[in-house]
């Protein structure tokens, strides 16, 4: 008996699948992480996944209306074997994945998925356990249409078929059925049903053998008649309950074996059971009646509770697709984690992939646990913790690989997809550049394609040698990503961006600025060989001249004879007296993990949340990601009214250190303060000092003497440290300022690039009536360090300008310009930029009426193109089905999933009575176009014309119809 899909009135419900709910939870989790850590690119990924989640739900309702589904019950289920239902499906629109699930009163359930393609009917077997004989009662049955990725399903209940009769299982190796002779043997005596002599004709009944049909009579009259034959009664076999032994189920099993044997031999038989008699007869109908009597025989066997049917293993193709996607998602870790960690992670994934193609032994649980433990210990030793950014992502990738190695069920496979998406989002903690964005798109596409592979029917996904993801899956995923892009862009621009984190949890990672908390010999010379970008500065208006490009960082005031370190001196912030025009600029700072904002002297306006210390050092919350700040700096006199305690502290020197330098500086104490500075600079100019990256090692004691009177070769920290020592010995407060000097103006973008090799140290000397005055002793030894750049200063110390970049340098600048624009518009898009944008377009602040109105309108506008495209794609390809689709749109009356044309048109006529006549024309034209012989084109034109005449509101051609 066929069970059709009910119409829409039966209650189809659109709901997310369990995987869809977990997918939504992942979106919420990544959104919280983006808000807390300011991951701008993470917002884009989160909103893209949100757009996919929305777009997958849109077309299911319309697509299911063109679905034809039929469920055929099993013919003769046997106890102990699955009752095999047959599911047939065909789609009138695009391809659909259909899932049907049945549940019996014993608690067993069975489900199957199949692909319903347009014009290509498909069928699959649905096995429901039949554990005992007797009626098999179904308690629930439903069908669902899944989206291509498996996030949503449109589910509706199926009408429950009548209880199925499960026959007793036939005994294996049963003896021959007994022969029982009855009285009246021979000709002229009592006869019985048999195959020997013709006895007459009777009307055909289902189950009669085709060999017994009188085909000559059927050809002459058109009526099927069955020939009846008989035989002497003594040739019949009689099956009796008394001929069996054992418990009732064993006796019924033997009788069932005898019935099957006699049916296959086409021999007549009768059956006697306690309380039941089956008369003599033969044929398929007689055998079915005997088996039914055996199935209903009391006492009933005790029902055996069952468990939900599940997959014992996973298909190779979906798992291979998932493992490939996980490898793509983990690929950036190769550049960051130790080599052994990468080898272990990708080795486990490769082994799991190999097991899907050949029978390799499964990794035991103890081995997986051992690998997890050893990996955690090794990574903790390498990074110092597993809770930081680097250690956390490395151990996450390893644990995901171990999970993949023990994956056994489709549920585990979908969990791997979610973990892969989460791993992709963690890469934004390290970098948010264009290449990282491209990798994230590739990773998301492969992971969604893997998810689509899990949605495929079992018979397709389990095909040997199948590819990890078919072309149709990739096309569906790419289409979803394209349709979700407008939604992602709208949310990226307008979704509220908070200025601060939800909670304070800094990301632990290595500092990337190169500036340390103290200065020792060789600190800056090591940085000079690192050409990574430290920050970029985009000026509004003129760029400051080279002599003003001192980017102030940490200030070092405590000296122990070997190292200079920072101190915190209590007291108010000293005065800042501007002396000239300022510079307004945006500073895009690379991840550094330190609180320093590298500002030009002296910052007079700081970004929200930043402070200016009493050492004139701009500081903000440490960030593990690239951040963008807006600052205003102005030439000024700093600390004219400085704290006396600080000035006293900045005169201190370690006792007994460098006596020759002390004596030299003491000889200048009779000079005016400014003259003492000039005397020290003159000593450097005339002393034969050289500028180099490879100075000799200085001793632990009397280091300044060894430099000033011995090696006379050094880098910026040597000159700044020695000059500061001389100024303190001469009676002037002095300190070292660390930061960067210079910067390369990029003509492709009009901004300045400051690299790690531009790290620099200089001296500040406090002079009465002038405050803290910057003095750079290195510039008196190598003027090119100020006028040009580091490389020029090392080769031509007296140069006045840097050489023009070559072709490779120009290409590097163009690529950096692209990176800078990306930083400005994507990475640096935060709450401040959002408020500026909203203010420029006149929407007001976030939460205002104008903002909410425009936000809603733009979001609907972003959804509309995707919905229209999906609607157009769901329109049936078959002309006749497309005409009915257009009719449903005209009437605004959806056609139910699998609803027949006649049933739909009758329902439409009941709701739109004035269109009864035209709907009759539609029905006639449709049947002619679909089933009439010959060219269907004229009938299709008639069908389309009749559809165009239909009006829902009663006006037009239908209103006056009298039919």
* Residues annotated as catalytic (active site), given as ranges: 716, 760, 776
CA distance 362 to 373: 19
Contact 290, 279 (CB under 8 A): no
State phi, psi for 77 to the nearest 5 degrees: -70, 145
Question: Among candidates 430, 429, 423, 428, which has minimal Cα distance to 444?
Answer: 423
Q: In this structure, what are the phi and psi dihedrals at residue 432, rounded to the nearest 5 degrees?
A: -130, 30
**Do β-strands 564-565 and 734-741 pair in parallel, antiparallel, or remain unpaired?**
unpaired
Q: Would you tell me how many other CB atoms lie within 10 Å of the CB of residue 500?
A: 13
- Taking the C-alpha atoms of residue 257 and residue 484, their distance in angstroms, rounded to an integer, is 61
Calculate the CA 751 to chain-centre distance: 36
Residue whose C-alpha is closest to residue 791's, from 806, 776, 802: 802
The 8-class DSSP code of residue 693 comes to S
Hey, what's the torsion of the CAs at 688, 689, 691, 697, to 10 degrees?
A: 130
CA distance linking residue 547 with residue 742, whole number of Å? 8
Q: What is the DSSP string of 500-528?
A: S-SS--PPP----S---SEE-TTHHHHHT
DSSP H or E run through 248: helix 248-265
- Cα separation, 394 vs 400, in Å, equals 10
Is 416 buried (19+), middle (13-18) or exposed (0-12) by CB count in 10 A? buried
CB 915 within 8 A of CB 908: yes
Contact 429, 389 (CB under 8 A): yes
Nearest CA to 737 out of 582, 564, 576 is that of: 564
Comparing CA positions, the residue from 601, 726, 578, 751 lying closest to residue 659 is: 726
629: helix, strand or coil: strand
| Number of Cβ within a 10 Å radius of residue 512 | 17
> How far is Cα 405 from Cα 369, in angstroms, rounded to an integer?
12
164 Cβ contact partners less than 8 Å away, ≥ 6 residues apart:
73, 74, 77, 83, 130, 135, 136
Could you tell me the CA-to-CA distances from 205 to 159, 213, 242, 633 in Å, in that order?
28, 10, 32, 102
Contacts 24+ apart (CB under 8 A), 348-353: 348/398, 348/401, 348/402, 348/404, 348/405, 349/323, 349/401, 349/404, 351/405, 352/319, 352/323, 352/401, 352/404, 352/405, 352/407, 353/319, 353/320, 353/323, 353/324
CB burial of 746-772 (b: ≥16 within 10 Å; e: otherwise) equals: beebebbbbbbbbbbbbbbbbbeeebb
How far apart are alpha carbons 728 and 730 in whole angstroms?
A: 5
């Amino acid at each position: 008996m066929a069970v059709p899909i009910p119409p829409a009135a039966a209650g189809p419900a659109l709901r997310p699948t369990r995987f869809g709910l977990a997918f939504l939870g992942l979106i919420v989790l990544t959104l919280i992480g983006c808000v807390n850590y300011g991951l701008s690119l993470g917002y884009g990924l989160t909103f893209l996944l949100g757009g996919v989640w929305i777009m997958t739900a849109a077309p299911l309702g319309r697509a299911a209306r063109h679905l034809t589904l039929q469920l055929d019950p099993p013919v003769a289920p046997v106890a102990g074997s699955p009752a095999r239902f047959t599911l047939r499906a065909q789609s009138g629109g695009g391809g659909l994945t259909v899932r049907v699930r049945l549940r019996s009163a014993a608690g067993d359930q069975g489900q199957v998925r199949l692909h319903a393609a347009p014009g290509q009917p498909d069928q699959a077997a649905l096995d429901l356990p039949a554990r005992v004989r007797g009626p098999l009662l179904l308690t629930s049955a439903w069908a669902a249409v899944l989206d291509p990725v498996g996030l949503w399903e449109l589910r509706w209940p199926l009408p429950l078929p009548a209880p199925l009769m499960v026959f007793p299982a036939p005994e294996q190796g049963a003896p021959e059925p007994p022969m029982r002779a009855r009285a009246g043997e021979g000709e002229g005596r009592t006869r019985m049903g048999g195959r020997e002599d013709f006895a007459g004709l009777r009307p055909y009944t289902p189950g009669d053998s085709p060999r017994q049909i009188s085909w000559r009579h059927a050809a002459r009259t058109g009526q099927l008649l069955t020939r009846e034959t008989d035989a002497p009664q003594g040739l019949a076999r009689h099956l009796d309950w008394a001929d069996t032994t054992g418990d009732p189920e064993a006796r019924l099993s033997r009788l069932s074996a005898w019935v099957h044997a006699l049916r296959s031999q086409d021999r007549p038989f009768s059956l006697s059971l306690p309380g039941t008699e089956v008369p003599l007869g033969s044929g398929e109908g007689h055998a079915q009646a005997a088996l039914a009597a055996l199935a209903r025989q009391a006492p009933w066997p005790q029902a055996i509770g069952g468990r939900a049917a599940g997959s014992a293993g996973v298909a190779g193709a979906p798992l291979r697709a998932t493992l490939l996607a996980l490898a793509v998602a983990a690929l950036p870790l190769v550049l960051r984690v130790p080599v052994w960690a990468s080898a272990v992670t990708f080795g486990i994934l490769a082994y799991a992939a190999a097991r899907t193609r050949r029978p390799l032994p499964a990794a035991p649980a103890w081995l997986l646990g051992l690998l997890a433990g050893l990996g955690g210990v090794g990574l903790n030793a390498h990074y110092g913790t597993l809770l930081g950014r680097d250690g956390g992502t490395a151990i996450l990738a390893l644990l995901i690989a171990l999970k993949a190695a023990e994956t056994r069920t489709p549920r585990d496979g979908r969990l791997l997809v979610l973990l892969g998406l989460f791993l992709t989002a963690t890469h934004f903690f390290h970098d948010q550049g264009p290449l990282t964005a491209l990798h994230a798109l590739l990773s998301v596409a492969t992971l969604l394609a893997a998810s689509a592979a899990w949605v495929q029917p079992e018979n397709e996904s389990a095909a040997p040698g199948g590819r990890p993801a078919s072309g149709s899956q990739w096309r569906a995923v790419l289409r979803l990503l394209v349709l979700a892009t407008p939604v992602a862009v709208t949310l990226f621009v307008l979704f509220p961006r908070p200025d601060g984190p939800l909670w304070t949890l800094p990301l632990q990672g290595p500092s990337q600025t190169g500036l340390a908390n103290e200065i020792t010999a060789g600190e800056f010379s090591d940085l000079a060989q690192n050409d990574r970008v430290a920050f970029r500065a985009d000026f509004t208006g003129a760029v400051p001249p080279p002599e003003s490009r001192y980017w102030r960082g940490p200030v070092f005031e405590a000296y122990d004879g070997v190292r200079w370190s920072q101190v915190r001196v209590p007291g108010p912030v000293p005065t800042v007296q501007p002396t000239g025009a300022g510079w307004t600029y945006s500073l895009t700072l690379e991840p550094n993990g330190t609180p320093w904002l590298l500002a030009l002297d002296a910052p007079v306006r700081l970004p929200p949340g930043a402070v200016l210390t009493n050492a004139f050092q701009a500081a903000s919350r440490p960030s593990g990601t690239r951040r963008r700040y807006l600052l205003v700096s102005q030439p000024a006199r700093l600390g004219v009214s400085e704290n006396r305690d600080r000035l006293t502290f900045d005169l201190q020197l370690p006792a007994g250190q460098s006596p020759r330098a002390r004596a030299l500086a003491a000889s200048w104490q009779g000079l005016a303060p400014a003259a003492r500075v000039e005397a020290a600079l003159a000593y450097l100019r005339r002393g034969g000092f050289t500028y180099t990256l490879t100075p000799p090692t200085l001793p632990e004691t009397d280091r300044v003497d060894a430099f000033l009177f011995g090696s006379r070769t050094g880098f910026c920290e040597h000159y700044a440290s020695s000059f500061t020592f001389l100024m303190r010995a001469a009676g002037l407060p002095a300190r070292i300022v660390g930061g960067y000097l210079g910067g390369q103006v990029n003509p492709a973008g009009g901004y300045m690039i400051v690299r790690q090799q531009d790290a620099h140290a200089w001296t500040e000397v406090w002079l009465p009536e002038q405050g803290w005055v910057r003095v750079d002793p290195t510039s008196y030894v190598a003027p090119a360090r100020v006028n040009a750049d580091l490389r020029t200063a090392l080769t031509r110390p007296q140069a006045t300008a840097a050489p023009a970049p070559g072709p490779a340098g120009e290409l590097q600048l163009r690529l950096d310009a692209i990176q800078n624009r990306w930083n400005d518009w994507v990475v640096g898009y935060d709450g401040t930029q959002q408020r500026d944008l909203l203010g420029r377009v006149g929407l007001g602040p976030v939460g205002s009426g104008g903002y909410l109105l425009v936000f809603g309108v733009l979001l609907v506008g972003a959804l509309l193109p995707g919905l229209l495209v999906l609607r157009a794609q769901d329109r049936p390809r078959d002309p006749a089905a497309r005409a009915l689709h257009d009719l449903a749109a005209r009437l605004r009356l959806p056609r139910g999933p699998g609803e027949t044309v006649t049933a739909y048109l009758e329902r439409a006529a009941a709701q739109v009575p004035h269109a009864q006549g035209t709907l009759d024309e539609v029905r006639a034209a449709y049947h002619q176009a679909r089933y009439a012989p010959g060219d269907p084109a004229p009938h299709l034109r008639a069908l389309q014309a009749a559809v165009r005449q239909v009006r829902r509101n009663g006006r037009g051609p239908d209103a006056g119809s009298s039919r």
